[in-house]
Amino acid sequence: MRKLYIAGNWKMNKGLMETRVFVQRVVPEINKQDLGNVIPLIAPAYPFLEEALRESFSSALQVAAQDVSYHSEGAYTGEVSAQMLASMELKYCIVGHSERRQYHNETDAMVKARMLKLFEHNITPIVCIGETLAQREEGKTEEVIINQLNGCLEGIKLIKGTEIIIAYEPVWAIGTGENATPWQAQEVHKLIRNWLKNNYGETVANELSILYGGSIKPANLKELLEGEDIDGGLIGGASLKEEDFLEMVKIAVASKGEKC
Ligand code: PEP
């Protein structure tokens, strides 16, 4: 059965104390639940990863970085390597978020290079793809998604399907309050799942979790999770409040995530 992720992308929000308080408050609530195949996850900023890892130690709450360098080590001021993340025993890392693509000119080739570094250190990449509003309006969604899958995953070996997580995040839905309808999201998720089937086979396609991201909140999550190929969410704004995050974990647990 596929894993269902409730993954909070905190972006450039929350300092040390806020991170500590959030984790200290949500961990006991998460520990009380039978999560089944649901994985709650947060991605704080780099300086607070260790704090989040320490405070969530031995709980089900997982911690991810928001980015990683595609260099191994050396004179790259401001960069953080996969080896550094692994030295904290971090297990997940977002790559290719649309904000990295938009503000830091990240290409699919760079996303792939980051993934390869993460694989060297057994860190699971959460690979973000998604079309802009202009591309959707021009009827190019399918073409853009397939190109991004080809670009990011070309030559990447997947055997079990759990080596990576894909997040479909339509750029027009991120931080705008305008989420894709469950139908729009499911349509693209199905396209991604079919591409996986054609390129990697049934096992990978069935086991790989595909998250939706874009203005998810407790009020729209249940409906989105009804999509057969929607295996949770990558959530920005609504993941910052403890009560909303916990509510979304509960909704995911109640949905049972009985997919695949
Ligand atoms: C995101 O940051 O990946 C995201 C989807 O943000 P939001 O939920 O705020 O739209």
Active site residue 104: no
Share of residues in the chain with pLDDT > 90 (%)? 95
* 39-81 per-position pLDDT tens digit: 999 999 999 999 999 999 999 999 999 999 999 999 999 999 9
Say if residue 257's pLDDT is above 90.
no
Confidence of residue 1 (pLDDT cuts 50, 70, 90): confident
**Domains (ranges, CATH) in the chain?**
4-256 (3.20.20.70)
- Nearest residue (CA) to ligand 1, atom 6: 236
Amino acid 255: pLDDT: 93
Amino acid 15: pLDDT: 98
- What is the secondary structure of the chain as a DSSP string? ---EEEEEE--S---HHHHHHHHHHHHHHHHTS--TTEEEEEE--GGGHHHHHHHTTTSS-EEEES---SS-SSS-TT---HHHHHHTT--EEEES-HHHHHHS---HHHHHHHHHHHHHTT-EEEEEE---HHHHHTT-HHHHHHHHHHHHHTT---SSS-S-EEEE--GGGTTSS-PPPHHHHHHHHHHHHHHHHHHH-HHHHHH--EEEESS--HHHHHHHHTSTT--EEEESGGGSSHHHHHHHHHHHHHTTT---
Mean pLDDT of 231-244: 98
Say if residue 162's pLDDT is above 60.
yes
Say if residue 259's pLDDT is above 90.
no
Average pLDDT over the chain, rounded to whole?
96
Amino acid 126: pLDDT: 98
Predicted structure pTM score: 0.96
Mean pLDDT of 131-140: 95
Mean pLDDT of 141-163: 97
Confidence of residue 258 (pLDDT cuts 50, 70, 90): low
Share of residues in the chain with pLDDT > 70 (%)? 98
Does 6 sit in the ligand 1 pocket, CB within 6 Å?
A: no
Amino acid 178: pLDDT: 85
Amino acid 99: pLDDT: 96
Say if residue 123's pLDDT is above 90.
yes
Catalytic residue among 99, 131, 163, 169: 169
Say if residue 224's pLDDT is above 90.
yes
Mean pLDDT of 29-33: 95
- Nearest ligand 1 atom to alpha carbon 235: 8
Active site residue 247: no
CA 164 to ligand 1 centroid distance, Å? 19
CA 74 to ligand 1 centroid distance, Å? 32
Say if residue 226's pLDDT is above 80.
yes
| Rounded CA separation 30/55 (Å) | 13
All residues at 6 or more sequence positions from 142 whose CB lies less than 8 Å from its CB, including other chains: 191
* 167-178 per-position pLDDT tens digit: 999 999 998 888
Say if residue 256's pLDDT is above 80.
no
Amino acid 177: pLDDT: 87
Say if residue 33's pLDDT is above 60.
yes
